[in-house]
Structure 1
């Protein structure tokens, strides 16, 4: 068992779409090796999840939605970094998106735009025009645990599959 699997029972995600948010369920075929496991929704936050389910922080990846502005135009993107690292939002991400000002998207806006629950947002099933910026450390981590679009489950996937999502770009993004 890998450190990413922890003490959970993982099943093929394509066979358990009831454990995924709608947009994730519709897009899960893009990550054919993805597996899903139910969790206690109260333990969805990364530190609590990793402790409760014996998953290494280095095997857990967090996805955040950022909103950047330039000339009145708002540009959204998803940023995926290992839970053990911090994303360089104001440096690498801002420069890559070519925006003057950047911040985390407000919770209600992120939820509305993604169709996913806050705390469960994942790079799978995001709006088709959003870049998915994947930190190179995520890809190097092998199997990683990510959100499922809901707080009541998690997805385990080879990070190499996340790098092949239609709008994914692998970059050095962590501090």
Structure 2
């Protein structure tokens, strides 16, 4: 019976060799991603899909071409370091892959920072518990602000990282907007 359920799961776009509910693929996910999904609202977590993909094809443009994913259905999660008064706050921004996160104006202003920049890779990886090239908004540290561009929240389904370079998650934009710490903002992307 379980095999029949797994066989019936389909991705809303793309051409993937294997599609499963993320809750059925927790062993493939980074630990913080699996932990969030396992402890989150079951209805929301149940809407998240996992697609198995080649880690060598993880970069957005290459990935979209290889798996026939429209770029406007793919989103990038970027870790930002915002500084004010000698303190650094880490946050994440989620924008469609067809746009860029406006770190210098929108993110800086929203976080009330004097300066904001992309976090160093070692910091982003170490603090998130995820792999470079696979960082996802699902399972980020609870104290991080998660800034989501309104266009992502309005997207029927969006593809994001899985916490690892291998595999991706697909979830409704509205489910992304319901993630812990999420704040949906207009004009976050440029």
TM-score of the alignment, normalized to the shorter chain, above 0.5: yes
User: After superposition, what is the alpha-carbon deviation per residue over 1:113-168, rounded to whole angstroms, capped at 9, x for unaligned?
Assistant: 00000110001111110010000010111100000000010001011011111200
Indicate the RMSD between aligned Cα atoms, in angstroms.
Answer: 1.2
Secondary structure of the corresponding residue to residue 135 of structure 2:
coil
Q: Distance in 2 between matches of 1:91 and 1:126?
A: 23
1:20 aligns with 2:34: no
Secondary structure of the corresponding residue to residue 166 of structure 1:
coil
Secondary structure of the corresponding residue to residue 152 of structure 1:
coil
Give the corresponding residue for 1:174.
Answer: 189
Give the corresponding residue for 2:5.
Answer: none
User: After superposition, what is the alpha-carbon deviation per residue over 1:14-51, rounded to whole angstroms, capped at 9, x for unaligned?
Assistant: 01112210000111243330010111100000001000
Structure with the greater relative contact order (CA < 8 A, sep ≥ 6): 1 or 2? 1
1:1-175 pair list within 5 angstroms: 5-8=13-16, 9-29=18-38, 30=40, 31-172=45-186, 173-175=188-190
Q: Which runs of 5+ in 1 are unaligned?
A: none
Q: Distance in 2 between matches of 1:121 and 1:47?
A: 16
TM-score, structure 1 as length reference? 0.96
Secondary structure of the corresponding residue to residue 146 of structure 1:
strand
Which 10-residue stretch deviates more, 144-153 or 7-16?
Answer: 7-16
Larger radius of gyration: 2
Work out the number of aligned pairs and report it: 174
User: After superposition, what is the alpha-carbon deviation per residue over 1:81-132, rounded to whole angstroms, capped at 9, x for unaligned?
Assistant: 0001111110111000000011100001110000000110001111110010
Equivalent pair of 1:5/1:156 in contact (CA under 8 Å): no
TM-score, structure 2 as length reference? 0.89
